[in-house]
Amino acid sequence: MSNNSIAEKLLSLWATDRLAHFYIVQPSPTEENPREFTQKWIENFLINIIMNEKNVSRDNALHKLKLGSGDILQITKEDENENYKVDNEQFLEFFKFQNFSPLELKQRFIVINDAHSIQKVLSNKLLKTLEEPAAKTTIFLLDPYRKKVLPTISSRAIYIRIPTNIKEDSSSRVEKLSEYLAANGLKDGLIEAVKLTEANKSNIMPLYDYLKGKKSQELELIDHMTRYVKQRNLSYKQLESFTSALKWYEKATVFNNYSPEKLSGLMLSIN
């Protein structure tokens, strides 16, 4: 499962209130900067949560996260080799955090960096909370170096192992649907019609006119649109919008509804 697929799965679980209460997150053994990579991964996950719940842009979500949220507690330290102490102020905050219900978000999150820094005395104190945290609270324990986490902790967690992202040349990334279709060898006439619709989302007629009497090409377009959406790093709401439009398209096809209306919903949902 890819990096993005794992994040999408977690977002889906969050959206349906099915997130587990405790996860241990590990990067690939081949990751060059495992600590930075793991921290960035959890940051992106939290940004997507804020984007979806508050319906804001990525930049605004990042700003909210940096300012601090009453529903997100992040425990970290500058020296990755230093062990956490029982009387660490951040862990005192950890236990206080359990006493409150969500304020802004529907779910609360605790992120603990450097799992290897939790020693036996502290782990014994954490056990009950890790096993049964407060309602609507999910704990992420980041284990960047894949060191052996104390069994008393690891036995209570679900492991998430994040593969290393394959680095791509940004110039090779396909952003527009028309570019994706061209890269997959669809007919030039169809690609030009999609380009015209991309330029003016309110005018679906060039695409409709082209597809008249070309049912096989229409079905091929829908298939490639679905694949295109799956490869993009979309928010949960964007995915939900496309899924709803696709269901409407399929239903409208059964009842022979007006084709431009069916296509328009799909085109609007992916932009």
Q: Are 141 and 112 in contact (CB under 8 A)?
A: yes
Residues 142-158, mean pLDDT to the nearest whole number: 85
Instruction: Find the largest Cα–Cα distance for the chain.
Output: 73
pLDDT value at residue 176: 83
Residue among 140, 69, 64, 61 nearest 105 (CA): 69
pLDDT value at residue 169: 47
Does the pLDDT of residue 174 top 50, yes or no?
Answer: no
Phi-psi region of 76 (alpha: psi -120 to 50; beta: other; left: phi over 0): beta
Residues 206-222, mean pLDDT to the nearest whole number: 87
pLDDT value at residue 170: 47
The type of residue at 269 is S
Residue range 83-118, pLDDT digits in tens: 888 777 888 888 889 888 899 999 999 999 998 888
How many residues are present in the chain?
271
Residue among 166, 121, 116, 163 nearest 142 (CA): 116
Which pairing describes strands 22-27 and 137-142: parallel, antiparallel, or unpaired?
parallel
